[in-house]
Amino acid sequence: MASNGHQRDDESIDEDETPTKQPRSDREMPGCFRYEPDNEAAAPAGRATSHRQTSNSTARLRSDSVKKTRPPFPWFGMDIGGTLVKLVYFEPKDITAEEEQEEVENLKSIRRYLTSNIAYGKTGIRDVHLELQDLTLCGRKGNLHFIRFPTHDLPAFLQMGRNKHFSSLHTTLCATGGGAYKFEADFHTMADLQLHKLDELECLIRGVLYIDSVVSSGPSECYYFENPTDPERCIQKPYTLENPYPLLLVNIGSGVSILAVYSESNYKRVTGTSLGGGTFLGLCCLLTGCSSFEEALEMASEGESTKVDKLVRDIYGGDYERFGLPGWAVASSFGNMMSKEKRESVSKEDLARATLVTITNNIGSITRMCALNENIERVVFVGTS
């Protein structure tokens, strides 16, 4: 995630924007989501500790020079994945009358279009429940909107951009994800837009840290489940990423990437798996005829995977004591589907459920091994799947 950025040409911005200079190069900060440190807690390695600032604390940093170097609106960030395009849009709420007057019509129309709708075209959706309000970003106050649509509808999006004369705004669109590379030419030819491409993993890490730092009210951005194996007592608990390192970051998109993160700029991709969200949806589409992720999840929530999977007790009649395997453990995902009678007796919901369980168990299993191999205790799962 990154907002539409400005190509820095003004080196003075650091001094203007951050009174306490941080040992971070400009190149690491291509977007304008910056974490201004608390003045009183500017430990060199403590960048992560100083993220928890409220919008009030940054208000005072607004100055003429910030205004001057601040990128022009609109502020966008795009992540073009294999399955979904994720778009964030910052809607400024502190527009002065003067600005309002200066604002060109095209910009207004885009703002209005995005903020007044919750669905765009046939497939675009704005996740209203995710919206972050009263956020201060680069000295501006506003709301952050989260919009998504399938990657295969990107041409329609570009068409819309063209119709709304997006290119007339002279903005550079910050984009990440594989699609930033794959579709760069399309952006240029179809919508006359320049992409500022950013590394996916770097954006991911910064996005995780940022979102954790700005969400201070409502449900915590990062959470875990207590008593996960006991449905009665299982509860969601907030978790703060104040001291996040080392961190295993599992990004579940169409596929899965697993990163070991040691600091904001020091990370490595440990491994990945092709069994991800795309697999869940792809298999569900083939097995049940569903067509959307929501539909697939809905079906999965109603199904029973134990009819589809072969459990340890299906083989051993109970626990496999020699190896301490409980009878309820899945011995073979879809294992019961080897039998014709059982294939005929399962529902679509059961199949969707089994697919979900298969994929999630597998990700869990690989993650656990990575965490052990990398000797990291904290694991954060993210991603649009």
> Which one of the spans 16-24, 45-53, 231-239, 284-292 is the region binding other proteins (CB under 8 A)?
284-292
Of 81, 141, 76, residue with least CA distance to 113: 76
| 253 contacts 363 by C-beta, under 8 angstroms | no
CA distance 47 to 26: 15
Active site residue 100: no
Among residues 5, 74, 161, 179, the one that binds other proteins under rule CB under 8 A: 179
Q: The tokens of 226 are what?
A: 């207590």
Among residues 131, 335, 378, 384, the one that binds other proteins under rule CB under 8 A: 335
Among residues 16, 111, 167, 178, the one that binds other proteins under rule CB under 8 A: 178
Q: The tokens of 268 are what?
A: 């490595």
Nearest-approach distance from CB 109 to other proteins, in angstroms:
30
Q: The tokens of 230 are what?
A: 């006991």
> Which one of the spans 48-56, 139-147, 149-157, 224-232 is the region binding other proteins (CB under 8 A)?
149-157
CA distance 369 to 250: 13
195 binds other proteins (CB under 8 A): no
Among residues 172, 306, 332, 360, the one that binds other proteins under rule CB under 8 A: 332
Among residues 282, 295, 297, 327, the one that binds other proteins under rule CB under 8 A: 282
Of 216, 290, 247, 282, residue with least CA distance to 380: 247
275 binds other proteins (CB under 8 A): yes
CA distance 353 to 298: 9
176 binds other proteins (CB under 8 A): no
CA distance 173 to 272: 28
63 binds other proteins (CB under 8 A): no
Q: How many residues bind other proteins (CB under 8 A)?
A: 67
Of 143, 140, 178, 146, residue with least CA distance to 59: 140
Among residues 226, 237, 373, 377, the one that binds other proteins under rule CB under 8 A: 373
Nearest-approach distance from CB 312 to other proteins, in angstroms:
7
DSSP for residue 253: S
Q: The tokens of 99 are what?
A: 């600005």
278 binds other proteins (CB under 8 A): yes
291 binds other proteins (CB under 8 A): yes
Among residues 94, 102, 127, 199, the one that binds other proteins under rule CB under 8 A: 199
Of 238, 63, 244, 217, residue with least CA distance to 135: 217
Q: The tokens of 250 are what?
A: 């599992």
Among residues 88, 250, 260, 337, the one that binds other proteins under rule CB under 8 A: 337
CA 198, distance to chain mean position in Å, is 15
Pairing mode of beta strands 256-261, 84-92: unpaired
Nearest-approach distance from CB 313 to other proteins, in angstroms:
12
Name the CA dihedral angle for 14, 16, 17, 23, rounded to a multiple of 10 degrees: 30
Interactions with other proteins, residue window 353-372 (CB under 8 A): 358, 361-362, 365-366, 369-370, 372
Nearest-approach distance from CB 304 to other proteins, in angstroms:
15
Cis omega (within 30 of 0) on the bond before 92? no
Closer residue to other proteins (CB): 142 or 150: 150
Closer residue to other proteins (CB): 103 or 186: 186
Catalytic-role residue among 91, 200, 221, 264: 200
Of 374, 53, 376, residue with least CA distance to 210: 53
Nearest-approach distance from CB 29 to other proteins, in angstroms:
18
| 145 contacts 114 by C-beta, under 8 angstroms | yes
Name the CA dihedral angle for 181, 186, 192, 198, rounded to a multiple of 10 degrees: -10
58 binds other proteins (CB under 8 A): no
Residue 275: CB atoms within 10 Å: 18
61 binds other proteins (CB under 8 A): no
Known catalytic residues are 200
Residues forming contacts to other proteins in the complex (CB under 8 A) are 81-83, 150-152, 177-179, 181-183, 199, 201, 253-255, 269, 271, 273-279, 281-287, 291, 308-310, 312, 315-316, 320, 322-323, 329-341, 343, 351, 358, 361-362, 365-366, 369-370, 372-373
